[in-house]
Amino acid sequence: MKIGFSRVSTSSQDHALQIDALEKAGCERIFLETVSGTRIDRPELAKALEFARPGDVLCVFALSRLGRNMRQIIDIVDDLNSREIGLHSLTENIETSSPTGRLWVNMLAALNQAETDILKLRTRHGLAAARARGRVGGRPRSLDDQKLRVAKALIAEGTLTVAEVAGQVGCAPATLYRALPGGRTAMGEQRV
């Protein structure tokens, strides 16, 4: 029996292309998963692997649908081989029923891993270059220097709680506590 497995990373992506290819390949049962390939807990993949019996073939649109790193893909292929279940990757046209097919799976998994590593490296270099030019990514600070001065003054008055002061300056109480280690007590000691 041919069993299909389709995975997309986000709900905004569509399974249609993969489903069409898996149906054309003759898959009688198709498992659909919407989760990142980097996640270890992939319930639909686990169901597909549990459903497969010796002599069956697990079909995927591409090896990258099984996992995002080499270790994940190789572990799955090894598990399938030990259970006498084949793997057929439609895009790469690879079947693991032969030693040559298993070799190609390992080589493509290694290339896939290298591509992922290079992408991460480029991203790190790009972020470092942006920081060197003074560009800082991420969420804007909710407590700038002016708001911090106002918060210190309000806390020093002693009429408002830290939560109320945080509401006045537009940040969370935890943000104030991080900016003012020791809270009200530290503010009182600074006034002396």
Which residues partner with 59 through β-bridges?
4, 88
Q: Is residue 133 part of a domain?
A: no
Catalytic choice (6, 9, 12, 36) = 9
The band of 68, judged by pLDDT with boundaries at 50, 70 and 90, is confident
Indicate if 104 and 176 belong to the same structural domain. no
- Report the range out of 8-12, 82-86, 100-104, 133-137 with the highest average pLDDT: 82-86
What pLDDT sits at residue 59?
97
Indicate if 53 and 97 belong to the same structural domain. yes
Rounded to whole angstroms, the Cα distance separating 115 from 5 reads 23
Indicate if 95 and 152 belong to the same structural domain. no
Which residues partner with 3 through β-bridges?
29, 58
Indicate if 112 and 160 belong to the same structural domain. no
**Which residues, in sequence order, are CB contacts of 130 under 8 Å at separation 6+?**
136, 137
Domain of residue 152, residue span: 145-191
Q: Is residue 33 part of a domain?
A: yes
**Count, residues in the chain:** 192
Segment 8-28 shows an average pLDDT of 93
Question: Could you tell me if 148 and 133 are in contact, meaning their C-beta atoms sit under 8 angstroms apart?
Answer: no
Q: Which residue among 98, 116, 134 closes a domain?
A: 116
Indicate if 87 and 17 belong to the same structural domain. yes
Count of domains in the chain?
2
**Which residues, in sequence order, are CB contacts of 79 under 8 Å at separation 6+?**
49
pTM surpassing 0.75? no
Rounded to whole angstroms, the Cα distance separating 45 from 65 reads 10
Q: Is residue 16 part of a domain?
A: yes
Rounded to whole angstroms, the Cα distance separating 18 from 4 reads 9
Three-state DSSP at 92 gives coil
Indicate if 9 and 93 belong to the same structural domain. yes
Q: Is residue 20 part of a domain?
A: yes
Q: Is residue 103 part of a domain?
A: yes
What pLDDT sits at residue 192?
35
Tens of pLDDT, residues 24-56:
999 999 999 998 877 878 999 999 999 999 999
* Residue 9 falls in the annotated catalytic set: yes
Indicate if 179 and 97 belong to the same structural domain. no
Rounded to whole angstroms, the Cα distance separating 85 from 41 reads 21
Rounded to whole angstroms, the Cα distance separating 151 from 180 reads 9
Rounded to whole angstroms, the Cα distance separating 149 from 50 reads 60
Q: Which residue among 116, 137, 161 closes a domain?
A: 116
Three-state DSSP at 102 gives helix
